[in-house]
Chain A
Amino acid sequence: MTGSSREYNESLLAISKAAGIELVEITDWNCCGATAAHNLNKELSVSLPARNLALAEFDGMEELVVPCAACYNRLVMTQHELNEDSNLKARIAEKLKMPLKNSIKILNVLQFLEKYFIPRLDELVKYPLTYDVACYYGCLLVRPNKVMHVERWEDPMAMDIIMQKLGANAIDWPFKTECCGAGFSVSKPEIVGELSGKIVRNAVGNGAKAIVVACPMCHSNLDMRRPAIESYLNKKVDIPVIYITQAIALAMGIAPKEAGIQRHFVPVNLTVNR
């Protein structure tokens, strides 16, 4: 969130500030280990996120807002696994040398927006967005559905509803939850080009003028990896990819620069009716 997805952080902080919501970072948080940990080392894949859960509890937090979809997924999976396996929980708590109740409420960015922004959108939106958009959810926010418990996990609507409330037309399309290639961005970029290419092609084919995302990996694969996508599709594609938090920022009238719109590889030429 301070590196390649810096604009996600900036836009989330900007809209929260404008809405009078204060977000506090977990003291001394660490990386969750992401795909690398669960692919190579089961224990680390649980202990790294567990440290963050324990630290958040220590800080006295009751609710955790996790903008990165990968971090969110790992934290929820960890909470789930530790609650299912008391031996594992005891072992991890001992390694952490911290108490772990493991009952903190974990929200992804869509759940956060649903809870704190949707009820107030009429008041907050100053400049409705008027174009057709494709809301792209990817994997990590909705699966595995046995743990994530997302309504309509094959055709989720949370982001679509927010975009409609901002004035945009969220198109109906079948690639909402297809995988973008995720962690292969560096090790198998040609696979990212193919999987992300199919997603972008479908969004464009269904008339979208922008793709809206809520995951840093989806964003970097659809935006920064555009050359790989274009080489798979064998043509140039200029559809921009924005974070849901940037869309809200634009609709709230926050300056595009404050929402990090200029940081994308594919230029964002979306006008707001002022």
Chain B
Amino acid sequence: MNKEDLSFKIKQSTDVNVRECYQCGKCTAGCPLAEHMDLRPSVIMRMLQSGDKEDEDKILRSLSIWLCLTCETCYSRCPMELDIPKIMDHLRQRSLAEGKVHHDARNIVTFHKSFLNTVERNGRLHEIGLVLDYKMHSGKLFQDITVAPGMFSRGKLSILPEQIKDKKGLSRLFKNQDKNTK
């Protein structure tokens, strides 16, 4: 493994050694979203082993890394006990940092960012705040407009967010963080 290789960086950050993968394909076989993926989990593992720079770029630009739902089926079934979801987290963060997020994954990233914005603001999740923040940033203004009244009538939406008291302590956790989470 070369120090410049993505597989080396993955090993350093996650302690998972992609070289241990012997391509049995169990991860892909059990993945609930494999058929929607441009690169399936076992293919990503093989491409990481190659150390090929073009392959690494393709992985970071893929939709697959964002479609992964972290259901942990692959990791639980892997005969080599390779923590693929952990690799996916690493790849997502790198893809975001390098500005390589796949076009069709933008809503997913926007949603995650809106989620964290809400948590940073209130300390707790506030569903209306989350959805409004997401609509603003994704431009999907009319999505789920038919669900909201049903949630209201069932008492499932609170207008005002719950706030935690120790905002200062919480904001410390958000400080000195990777800027890309904003």
Interface centre among B72, B107, B108, B157 (most CB of A within 10 A): B72
Nearest chain A CB to B74 CB, angstrom units: 9
Chain B 85-121, CB-CB to A under 8 Å as 1, else 0, gives 1000110110010000000000111111101100100
Output the nearest chain B residue to A47 by Cβ-Cβ distance. B173
Q: Chain A contacts of B85 at CB under 8 A?
A: 144
Q: CA separation between A183 and B105, bound complex, in Å?
A: 13
Q: Chain B contacts of A263 at CB under 8 A?
A: 154-156
**Number of A positions contacting B (CB below 8 A):** 50
Q: Chain A contacts of B76 at CB under 8 A?
A: 143-146, 153
Q: Is A184 an interface residue (CB 8 A)?
A: yes
B173 touches A6 (CB 8 A): no
Pick from B1-9, B40-48, B53-61, B159-167 the stretch touching chain A: B159-167
Pick from A27-35, A104-112, A118-126 the stretch touching chain B: A27-35
Q: CA separation between A21 and B118, bound complex, in Å?
A: 33
Residues from 120 to 159 in B contacting A, C-beta threshold 8 Å: 123-127, 131, 134, 138, 143-144, 147, 150-151, 154-158
Nearest chain B CB to A147 CB, angstrom units: 9
**Number of B positions contacting A (CB below 8 A):** 61
Output the nearest chain A residue to B13 by Cβ-Cβ distance. A42
One of B108, B123, B181 near A31 (C-beta < 8 A): B123
Q: Is A17 an interface residue (CB 8 A)?
A: no
A29 touches B164 (CB 8 A): yes
B107 touches A41 (CB 8 A): no
A188 touches B108 (CB 8 A): yes
Pick from A164-172, A174-182, A202-210, A247-255 the stretch touching chain B: A174-182
Known: A4-B151, A144-B72. A41 touches B181 (CB 8 A): yes
A36 touches B111 (CB 8 A): yes
Q: Chain A contacts of B32 at CB under 8 A?
A: 178-179, 195
Output the nearest chain B residue to A98 by Cβ-Cβ distance. B169
Q: CA separation between A42 and B164, bound complex, in Å?
A: 22
Q: Is A262 an interface residue (CB 8 A)?
A: yes
Q: Chain A contacts of B96 at CB under 8 A?
A: 40
A35 touches B170 (CB 8 A): no
Q: CA separation between A205 and B177, bound complex, in Å?
A: 48
A95 touches B155 (CB 8 A): no
Q: Chain B contacts of A265 at CB under 8 A?
A: 150, 154
Chain A 145-167, CB-CB to B under 8 Å as 1, else 0, gives 11000000100000000000000
Output the nearest chain B residue to A178 by Cβ-Cβ distance. B32
Nearest chain B CB to A87 CB, angstrom units: 13
Q: Chain A contacts of B73 at CB under 8 A?
A: 139, 143, 179
Nearest chain B CB to A228 CB, angstrom units: 10
Nearest chain B CB to A225 CB, angstrom units: 9
Q: Is B52 an interface residue (CB 8 A)?
A: no
Interface centre among A29, A41, A96 (most CB of B within 10 A): A41
A39 touches B112 (CB 8 A): yes
Q: Chain A contacts of B90 at CB under 8 A?
A: 42
Q: CA separation between A28 and B123, bound complex, in Å?
A: 9
Q: 13 interchain pairs (CB within 8 A)?
A: A3-B126, A3-B156, A30-B164, A37-B116, A40-B96, A47-B173, A48-B173, A51-B173, A139-B73, A144-B75, A144-B85, A224-B150, A263-B156
Residues of A within 8 A of B (CB): 2-4, 6, 28-31, 33-45, 47-48, 51, 95-97, 139, 143-146, 153, 178-179, 181-184, 186-189, 191, 195, 224, 262-265
Residues of B within 8 A of A (CB): 13, 32-33, 36, 67, 69-73, 75-76, 81, 83, 85, 89-90, 92-93, 96, 107-113, 115-116, 119, 123-127, 131, 134, 138, 143-144, 147, 150-151, 154-158, 162, 164-166, 169-170, 172-174, 177-178, 180-181
* 5 more CB-based (< 8 A) A-B contacts, given A4-B156, A39-B93, A139-B71: A28-B164, A96-B172, A143-B75, A182-B69, A262-B154
